[in-house]
Amino acid sequence: MRTDTPQTIYRKDYTPPAYLVDTVELGFDLDPETTIVASRLTMRRNPDSTEAGIELYGQNLKLVALRMNGATLREGDYRISSNVLRISKAPDQVTLEIETLTSPAQNTTLNGLYVSNGNFFTQCEAEGFRCITYFPDRPDVMAKYTVMLRADKQKYPVLLSNGNLVEAGDLPDGRHYAKWEDPFKKPSYLFALVAARLVCQEETFKLMDGRDALLQVWVEDGNLDKTDYAMQSLKNSIRWDEERFGLELDLDRFMIVAVSDFNMGAMENKGLNIFNTKFVLANSRVATDVDYAGIEAVVGHEYFHNWTGNRVTCRDWFQLSLKEGLTVFRDQEFSADMIGTDSGRAVTRIEQVRTLRQAQFPEDAGPMAHPVRPDSFVEINNFYTVTVYEKGAEVVRMYQTLLGRDGFRKGMDLYFKRHDEQAVECDDFRAAMADANGRDLAQFERWYSQAGTPVLTASGKYDARWLTFELTLSQSCPATPGQPDKLPFHIPVAVGLLGADGKDLPLTVGGKQHGGTAVLELTEASQVFRFTGVKEEPTPSILRDFSAPVVLNYPYTDDELLHLFSHDSDPVNRWEAGQRLAMERLLKLTAASAHGSKQELDDTFIEAMRKILVDESLDAAFRENALLLPSETMVAEQMEVVDPQAIHRARQFMRRVIGERLRADLHAQYDANLTPGDYSPDAISAGKRGLKNIALAYLSAAPDEHSDALARRQFDEAGNMTDRVAALVSLIHSESAGAALALEKFYDEFDNEALVIDKWFAMQAAAPGTDVAMVRSLMRHPAFTLKNPNRARSLLFNFANGNPAQFHAPDGSGYAYWAEQVMALDKLNPQVAARLARSMDRWRRYSPALQAQMKTALQKVAGAPKLSNDVTEVITKALSN
């Protein structure tokens, strides 16, 4: 929350802490209205610091007592101003004793100590610990924690914190206690406690070195039928990290706790991961294939943080991608390895590319653009972004592409050898990768320091006489806020050359032989790569497996794209060729629609789609992805002046024509990809459901009696949530007469399942027929609340980000609504409000009329009284960049 005028914090201003903390003892007397927190810190002067005094941070706390080495400090001995408590004179060795009060029940921010459904939880990353007690709350202060929890035994039978349980017992007045000890040093952002009425699924698991670990998944009573997949994912994660990276669980006990009020996906607190229920609870009745995949990825992600984040942590928050980019990369590799097949891997890669284009490229081109390692911020919570996470993961992936899997592993090993139990920088990770492999990675640093999506421009020249193919690669990078000029990046460009038969030609480049794919390293603004012994004019397949997070420009002809779409041995580029074919057409159709001229879709494209649809040698999941058109947001990113309604009409037209023209084949594939029998979330089954359901979506986009009946039948007979949701979406989008009744039935059947009711709101928010007035009326539904982030996101975010044609209504009503909701949310939860505020990032790309309305809405929010730092930063940047 904003206390003074927002201040910008700069990476260059980093100084080491004046005092280090060796041990922390915390005592909690938990009560929703007033919780008493007693802390005892043993501290010593940091030899690496030149500063004198002790600096503690604290926010929304009532200080009751402060003692230094046994003596009470009075005002004057210390000073508190704007959330900092300073003790200017202190000896080299200090024991501080601090008593503070907080009010968890009043805490709607879900940051610090808060109450959810009557239970206590904490969220300390990034700077929530200072809302619990005064502390040098910065990640380079690492200490050993002992925690005593005391609470009413009836109301809070379960008392959890980090590490191992060392003591528990009863107290007078119906209270009880539990004492926890974390054997490892940690930064304060990894502290956690839970005091709650919960139940758990547990089991012991044999670790690599033979030790037994106790694994627990804690949920509210009534949800134990939804914990199996999270538990299985946890066991898979532990095994995978042992096998792939030689990293073992370092605790005897590992707990996952699910909470329904949570700002993000989950949190990697040492030994006590706290999760949004969305990423824990699943069974076939309530969760979709996408939900299952999300659980596997997030359970893995948080578990992998135990080494990449917790054992080796960040020196300061500018280094956030050190742990997040690396850990996302690790969870991506985990999910891919769990599928196991090359084609399954490729589908996960395609999904990653889609996320980057859908969310990260726009961020990198907008007012909040920042490097993977930012140079400044106002509110760190605003920098848990797709750039830090997903682009950060791409940067880590490029090391693996450049060094190979073994080289990457060597780099990881050296990183842990050098930095275990330290707080370090992104540069330290890069140095470990370079040193372990004897490679110069100095230029690679620019991936951390320069924002913006590089543009890779390629052109090819075949010489039939000398049998050479010259590939010219050039790079540039657009200006971003604060960075007008960019230097060349070190870009790995994976290239293959296809012959006329569609097979990979053998490659020799620079005298070196490769298999079907060569990884070229572009380091200059422009370079020519000469392939020799090329027996025929090839079709180049550039940026295979999406080897770098860049935009590729190559003057592909339709014929070349069709060739790649039919034959490329690299599934990612094969998919990419189809996306290019579709995008070209979507842009033309959008222009035609805007000018009111006739829309037409060529047979060539439709036949190419048909070929993929019916090719049973391809995985169902790949075919589903190949049939999925670029989103309206992606089309918008390609336009100078975005016309949301024209884009929507164009994409709908294309979907309808595909549905009409491929009707028989779609029906056949629908039937061929049924998954009778018990539900299983495995990749093959999920792929079949995906293909079947995209077939249904196309059929519903060209509705006739058959397709409507098909959707209704699927809705009525679905044996799992994936099929049920797909059917309902089809009914809603085709404005079927059965849609209203289906929505009602869906609600009634699942009104006890909060996560399913979130879907109910989300589906309606994103439906093309839902306008601002309908969203407002959904907000008046008794099940709606702004206080629960999942619920707020399900309606508001899905409307603002997932329903562009309605959100950007020409009368500006969507923007006025957005402004109201940002301001309302900000009073409750600034972190969530600031995320909604980001929906206006790209406002300068719309028509002057829409821009004017958007600016008015932005200014309205900017002028609101008592705006949080979080929202202020987002709005200020939108208005000034």
**Which residue of 61, 112, 119, 125 would you call a contact of ligand TRP, by CB under 6 A?**
125
**Phi first, then psi: what are they for 422, rounded to 5°?**
-120, 165
The item of Zn ion, ligand TRP, none sharing an interface with residue 220, based on CB under 5 to 8 Å by kind, is: none
Which span sits near ligand TRP by CB under 6 A: 2-10, 122-130, 769-777, 800-808? 122-130
**Which residue of 231, 264, 312, 874 would you call a contact of ligand TRP, by CB under 6 A?**
264
Alpha helices in 217-341 (DSSP H): 228-245, 289-304, 320-339
**Phi first, then psi: what are they for 347, rounded to 5°?**
-65, -40
**Which residue of 263, 269, 400, 599 would you call a contact of ligand TRP, by CB under 6 A?**
263
- The nearest distance, CB 231 to ligand TRP, in angstroms, is 19
Residue nearer to ligand TRP on the CB measure, 160 or 647: 160
- The nearest distance, CB 384 to ligand TRP, in angstroms, is 5
Which span sits near Zn ion by CB under 5 A: 195-203, 319-327, 511-519, 561-569? 319-327
Which residue is nearest to ligand TRP, using beta carbons? 264
- The nearest distance, CB 331 to Zn ion, in angstroms, is 8
Q: Does 384 bind ligand TRP (CB under 6 A)?
A: yes
Cα–Cα nearest to 740, from 719, 720, 770, 695? 770
Residue nearer to ligand TRP on the CB measure, 223 or 381: 381
| Token pair for 868 | 């949080």
- The nearest distance, CB 876 to Zn ion, in angstroms, is 27
**Catalytic amino acids?**
302
**Phi first, then psi: what are they for 329, rounded to 5°?**
-55, -45
- Is the Cα dihedral 530, 535, 538, 544 positive or negative? negative
Residue 15: C-alpha distances to residues 76, 355, 482, 861 (Å): 25, 36, 23, 35
Residue nearer to ligand TRP on the CB measure, 273 or 517: 273
Q: Does 331 bind ligand TRP (CB under 6 A)?
A: no
Which span sits near ligand TRP by CB under 6 A: 230-238, 264-272, 608-616, 711-719? 264-272
The item of ligand TRP, Zn ion, none sharing an interface with residue 264, based on CB under 5 to 8 Å by kind, is: ligand TRP
> Which positions ≥6 away from 115 have C-beta within 8 Å?
32, 104, 105, 107, 121
- The nearest distance, CB 298 to ligand TRP, in angstroms, is 7
**DSSP labels, 330-378:** HHHHHHHHHH-SHHHHHHHHHHHHHHIIIIIHHHHTSTT---SS-SEES
**Residues 281-310, mask of contacts with ligand TRP (x by CB under 6 A):** --------------------xx--------
| Token pair for 381 | 């919570």
- Give Cα 819 to chain centroid, integer Å: 25
Is 807 within 8 Å of 845 (Cβ atoms)? Answer: no
C-alpha neighbours within 13 Å on the C-beta side of residue 47: 0
**Phi first, then psi: what are they for 499, rounded to 5°?**
-85, 180
Q: What is the DSSP secondary structure assignment for residue 597, as one 8-state letter?
A: P
Is 147 within 8 Å of 113 (Cβ atoms)? Answer: no
Q: Does 126 bind ligand TRP (CB under 6 A)?
A: yes
Rounded CA-CA distance 872/874 in Å is 6
The item of Zn ion, ligand TRP, none sharing an interface with residue 267, based on CB under 5 to 8 Å by kind, is: ligand TRP
The item of Zn ion, ligand TRP, none sharing an interface with residue 363, based on CB under 5 to 8 Å by kind, is: none
Q: Does 268 bind ligand TRP (CB under 6 A)?
A: yes
- The nearest distance, CB 301 to ligand TRP, in angstroms, is 6
Q: Does 83 bind ligand TRP (CB under 6 A)?
A: no
- The nearest distance, CB 320 to Zn ion, in angstroms, is 9
Which span sits near Zn ion by CB under 5 A: 176-184, 316-324, 547-555, 727-735? 316-324
Which span sits near Zn ion by CB under 5 A: 16-24, 158-166, 323-331, 505-513? 323-331
- Total residues at the site for ligand TRP (CB under 6 A)? 13
As a whole number of angstroms, the longest Cα–Cα distance in the chain is 94
**DSSP labels, 142-166:** EEEEEEEEEEETTT--EEEESSEEE
| Token pair for 299 | 């359970």
Binding site for ligand TRP (CB under 6 A): 123, 125-126, 263-264, 266-268, 301-302, 324, 381, 384
Binding site for Zn ion (CB under 5 A): 324, 327
